[in-house]
Structure 1
Amino acid sequence: MHRFTVDYNKDETNPRSRLHRGYFIHQAPRIMPLCRLLGHKAMVDGYDRQYGDRERVRWVVCDRCGVRPEPQGFLDADEWNLGQQYTGPMTDTTPPPPSTTLIKQLARKQLPMPRPKTPGPWPARPTGAFGAELVIGKSSTIGFGLKVGNAGSEHVLAAHIGLGPLGALFIHTERFGQGIQRRLNPTGYDSREVDLAFHHGKAWWTIWGRRDEHSTSDPKWMRGNININPAHYLLGPSSGETIQETETAPTTVRMPDGATYDVTVKLEKWQHGRPRGRKTTHWALNWSSTSGIPTRNHSWKGDNTLGGYGPFPDAYAGSPHWVELASAQIAADCMKDRARYGYRAPEAA
């Protein structure tokens, strides 16, 4: 068993918290009192492929603690059903791993690795891991949540609580809690979560929802939100609308390296507020470029920024030279992005 910590603030150029540290314990022994007293309860586990694939896979797992024998076995799917108690043979020794020569030969011929069909012995000393992440100071989380992983999850159980400006705490387990996971979420590969969060003046909840998937077939009670801002009920819902805009105008953005880029710019004046409350207005710059302005070096996201939308000083909006001022602002914003992403100009041929 070993433990270590990670200081996440060292990797942040602009830390938002006084403390942001991770604490981890690896190779911690699992206690499993029932299985050590009564022995493991062998059950058939696996999956049935979906979406047109007919492959079905079966292996052996302990239904109480989630530990798998070594090897876990590769059973005949026509003979063994999911959730069935396994009463077949189990070997007493773990077979040696395949040799490097065999691995290379199979890879050269594009053949799969051989999988032992008979389950091996149960591991004598199963281990797991714990992890925690503590934030003291400003955090983006207000609320709490619980997660129950699926059969393939790295984090079997997880939980968090966030207190906004005070901080947040995140914890998770690896392998610990597999018995709970098998009781609550035994089938499928969708983790489940229970979550309550507060942001944008609303309370948002999730009750046993799939962690990474939303569907129209989900019941209404599973996910939802309610407005908890008193101003929403006293003054009406907050909204924004465009009350004025300029014509689209072409201009040229000149970067400090001497390169020029053709763009089109337009100003929009927005009004925000509630029907029975005070209104605020501001100007926004909306620009686009057909060819784009390079701001990063990325293989699949692309190097060029094709446009942007952001605030524009009110004092500049009434100037007859607002187009030139917009061009200068675009150049400044793109230079900030280049510095942020560490942009490197392509070398000349």
Structure 2
Amino acid sequence: MHTFTVDYSTDRPDPRVLVNRSYFASSLPRLIPLCRIRGHKPVVDGYDSSYGNRERARWVACRRCGVRPEPQGHLDPDAWNIGQPYTGPFHPGQPTSETVRKELAARGLDEGIRQPGAWPPSPTGSLGAQLIIGRSPTYGAGFKVGNAGSEHVLAAHIGLGPIGALFLHTEQFGTVLQRRLNPTGYESRVVDVAFHHGSIWWSLWARRNEHRSSDPRWMNGSANIHPAHYLLGPRTNTVLDQTEKTAATVHMPDGTAYDVTVRLEKWQHGRRRGRKTTSWGLDWDCPAGIPVRNHSWKGDEALGGHLPFPDEAAGTPQWAEVACALIAESCARDRAHYNYRAPSAA
């Protein structure tokens, strides 16, 4: 058994967080008493690609505990179905190294090496936890049941906002439960309840990080629980007035200049009933783009955006100059954030 901890507060100091530390314990022996007494129950595991190609794979695992032989085997997908009991031979004496098996196959000496090997004598697993005392980003609780290829078989969390949060996960432990609840496929399932932005959000045995139009409505949803929503109506943001698009030039601190179009918008914020507030916003576009970062595939140019605009400058003839100064300041901050370096002259 090996244990260690990681203190995240050293990399991300926050005076409102007293503790932000993870704890890990690895190489823990798995109990699996039924398999130790009665032996493993081999079943065919694997996948069929759902991305339009014909990639398929089959191997052997224990139906109860999920342990795989070493090696796990490479079965013929046309002869074996996922979930089918494996009644074929085992080849405990084959080399466990993938490199050695590939070399033997390349020489035509692969007889038997595609069969599953021996069951591991002492299966192990790992446990992990992260404890936050102080401000945390979550309000809510939930748990995850992993899929056949998940690194974390089971996971759970509870977040209490300014009080703290606790995150737990297992590796290999809990496979018995995972294979009963989510035995096939590579989509983890979650049950989660969260509170944010005045609403309650839920996921009930939903696919993790995925939504489909065929999902029933009860699986994912939200409901507004803020009292003001029902007393004063929903919050709205409405454009009351806007200027025409105006051509202008943004001068960056490095001496470069970029042609842009700017437009002011007057917004009204508030609920259907009750007091409302107004603010001005700047909408700008730059077809050529203003470089703000160096990146090979994400792109390195700001093509436009929306910025808050000071109310006292909205009604003055110099509003376009103020807009250009705000755009230059925003892009300069982005350049500093991304550590932008201008390309050298040819």
Same fold (TM over 0.5): yes
- Could you list the per-position Cα deviations for residues 211-248 of structure 1 after superposition, in whole angstroms to 9, with x for gaps in the alignment? 12211111111111111011111111111100111221
Q: Does 1:209 align with 2:219?
A: no
Between the aligned partners of 2:20 and 2:260, the Cα distance in structure 1 is 42
Specify the alignment match of 2:315 in structure 1.
318
Q: Which amino acid aligns with 1:300?
A: W
Specify the alignment match of 1:34 in structure 2.
34
Specify the alignment match of 1:84 in structure 2.
84
In 2, are the aligned partners of 1:150 and 1:181 still within 8 Å (CA)?
yes
Specify the alignment match of 1:283 in structure 2.
280
Instruction: Kindly state the Cα deviation for residue 192 of structure 1 after the two structures are TM-superposed.
Output: 0.6
In 1, are the aligned partners of 2:144 and 2:154 still within 8 Å (CA)?
yes
Specify the alignment match of 1:346 in structure 2.
343
- Could you list the per-position Cα deviations for residues 34-90 of structure 1 after superposition, in whole angstroms to 9, with x for gaps in the alignment? 211221111121223345544543211111110000011122334333222222222
Greater Cα shift, 323-332 or 125-134: 125-134
Q: Which amino acid aligns with 1:203?
A: I
Q: Which amino acid aligns with 1:67?
A: V
Q: Does 1:300 align with 2:297?
A: yes
In 2, are the aligned partners of 1:16 and 1:139 still within 8 Å (CA)?
no
Q: Describe the SS at the equivalent of 2:261.
A: strand
In 2, are the aligned partners of 1:295 and 1:338 still within 8 Å (CA)?
yes
Aligned 1:213-252 pairs, distance under 5 A: 213-252=210-249
Greater Cα shift, 314-323 or 150-159: 314-323
2:171 counterpart (151, 174, 183): 174
In 1, are the aligned partners of 2:17 and 2:133 still within 8 Å (CA)?
yes
- Could you list the per-position Cα deviations for residues 134-189 of structure 1 after superposition, in whole angstroms to 9, with x for gaps in the alignment? 22222221111111111111111111111122222221111111111100001111
In 2, are the aligned partners of 1:253 and 1:260 still within 8 Å (CA)?
yes
Between the aligned partners of 1:297 and 1:14, the Cα distance in structure 2 is 29
Between the aligned partners of 2:177 and 2:135, the Cα distance in structure 1 is 33
Which TM-score applies when normalising by structure 2?
0.92
Change (3 A) 1:99 1:153: closer
Between the aligned partners of 1:101 and 1:73, the Cα distance in structure 2 is 11
Between the aligned partners of 1:176 and 1:126, the Cα distance in structure 2 is 10
In 2, are the aligned partners of 1:9 and 1:15 still within 8 Å (CA)?
no
Specify the alignment match of 2:20 in structure 1.
20
1:258 counterpart (255, 258, 263): 255
Specify the alignment match of 2:193 in structure 1.
196
Between the aligned partners of 1:96 and 1:147, the Cα distance in structure 2 is 32
Between the aligned partners of 2:16 and 2:97, the Cα distance in structure 1 is 48
Instruction: Kindly state the Cα deviation for residue 99 of structure 1 after the two structures are TM-superposed.
Output: 5.2
Between the aligned partners of 1:94 and 1:341, the Cα distance in structure 2 is 52
5+ residue gaps, structure 1: 107-112
In 2, are the aligned partners of 1:74 and 1:115 still within 8 Å (CA)?
no
In 1, are the aligned partners of 2:74 and 2:114 still within 8 Å (CA)?
yes
In 1, are the aligned partners of 2:70 and 2:96 still within 8 Å (CA)?
no
Specify the alignment match of 1:186 in structure 2.
183
Between the aligned partners of 2:41 and 2:69, the Cα distance in structure 1 is 11
Q: Describe the SS at the equivalent of 2:132.
A: strand
Q: Does 1:117 align with 2:114?
A: yes
Q: Please, what is the CA RMSD of the aligned residues?
A: 2.5
5+ residue gaps, structure 2: none
In 1, are the aligned partners of 2:94 and 2:112 still within 8 Å (CA)?
no
Change (3 A) 1:17 1:342: farther
Q: Describe the SS at the equivalent of 1:221.
A: coil
Instruction: Kindly state the Cα deviation for residue 94 of structure 1 after the two structures are TM-superposed.
Output: 4.5
Q: Which amino acid aligns with 1:239?
A: T
Change (3 A) 1:96 1:289: same
